[in-house]
Structure 1
């Protein structure tokens, strides 16, 4: 009888401990769900900084999700779009140079214009070179940009001289307009690659 009582007592203790452990696990699950939910919300937050495990953010996809109420309730001045003009100019120039027939290229990106001067080989037709350069910029830049191209290599130095300028400089508009006038003496690409007004 003692053995049966001892066995039943041991079994009862094991069942009670297992039940308590299960309750603890359920409580842990309930505590983890809000934490996991908050982690997912943080990961989807469009204003989240780049994570330390991926400092460049290059292997992540871009995704945001808002409701109309969130947008309407926010102060829009807090969410201005900043365009990294140097990165855009870098990307445009590198893509142009991946095409056959280009020896060198320089790109200047302003607040609403892109000026591209390039050197090309003799076997690249002037219209085709202009078309490639302009279509490259148009495919990368926002739609409101005006794009000007030129095969005149001397203009590379002219647009380079502006790269440290500011749009607040007194001669900025005058200099840009003079360069654009000179660029427009070169082919500007086919009609399809022209910016839409």
Structure 2
């Protein structure tokens, strides 16, 4: 009996060690990959550690840049979590957009009412690709959001720079509007519906945005 107890105890010890090693490897894997987060504040984003570092994440713009993996359907070890803040929404949109054919690099900014997506692409049908990227974003965000896209890769840096602005400042809103104007020079895809334009905005939405 004593011999069997020692064998069982040894097996349990090996199992515990194996689990610890697996969890350590999983942490390393999930923190690597090909996603580039500008606001890399994991504790605050996911509210780890209880009340430590609590902030109102809804006041911040969310930005994520994601590059296509050479391995098909590879997410770089990340998962699609429920959207709990803007940066997480940007992360999901950027990941899904790299699944669109001919889209290789995506920079996504999520504000309180818009999604701005700049991407590099080698597509031969710019409008079709723009429509696919836009509708991908539309499937993630609430329906009142407007989505603007651009295949001008030079605008990717402009999208990234907006992530560093204070989203509550008037200068931030003006900068967003200016970038939207530049992005709309690129194909925006097809109209979302009879009452909504290519970006999901109605006539009233457009009037309200110009008044802000």
- Cα deviation, residue 125, structure 1: 1.0
Alignment correspondent of 1:141: 141
Looking at structure 2, the residues matched to 196 and 174 of structure 1 have their Cα atoms a distance apart, in angstroms, of: 18
Alignment correspondent of 1:117: 118
Alignment correspondent of 1:181: 181
Q: SS state of the match for residue 165, structure 2?
A: coil
> Displaced runs of 4+ in structure 1, greater than 2 A?
none
- Cα deviation, residue 169, structure 1: 2.3
Looking at structure 2, the residues matched to 127 and 160 of structure 1 have their Cα atoms a distance apart, in angstroms, of: 23
Contact 2:115 2:145 in 1 (8 A): yes
> What pairs up with 1:35-114 in 2 under 5 angstroms?
83-114=84-115
Aligned residue pairs, count: 120
Alignment correspondent of 1:154: 154
Q: SS state of the match for residue 132, structure 1?
A: helix
Looking at structure 2, the residues matched to 83 and 196 of structure 1 have their Cα atoms a distance apart, in angstroms, of: 24
- Structure 1, unaligned stretches of length 5 or more? 1-57, 63-81
Looking at structure 1, the residues matched to 85 and 168 of structure 2 have their Cα atoms a distance apart, in angstroms, of: 18
* Higher Cα Rg, which structure: 1
- Cα deviation, residue 83, structure 1: 4.6
The alignment status of 1:195 with 2:205, answered yes or no, reads no
Alignment correspondent of 1:6: none
- Structure 2, unaligned stretches of length 5 or more? 1-78, 193-197, 203-212
RMSD: 2.5
Contact 2:148 2:199 in 1 (8 A): no
Looking at structure 1, the residues matched to 160 and 184 of structure 2 have their Cα atoms a distance apart, in angstroms, of: 18
Contact 2:131 2:189 in 1 (8 A): yes
Moved more, 107-116 or 157-166: 157-166
- Cα deviation, residue 170, structure 1: 3.6
- Cα deviation, residue 164, structure 1: 2.1
- Cα deviation, residue 194, structure 1: 4.1
The TM-score with structure 1 as length reference comes to: 0.56
- Cα deviation, residue 196, structure 1: 5.3
Looking at structure 2, the residues matched to 194 and 159 of structure 1 have their Cα atoms a distance apart, in angstroms, of: 17
Looking at structure 1, the residues matched to 94 and 184 of structure 2 have their Cα atoms a distance apart, in angstroms, of: 19
Q: SS state of the match for residue 171, structure 1?
A: helix
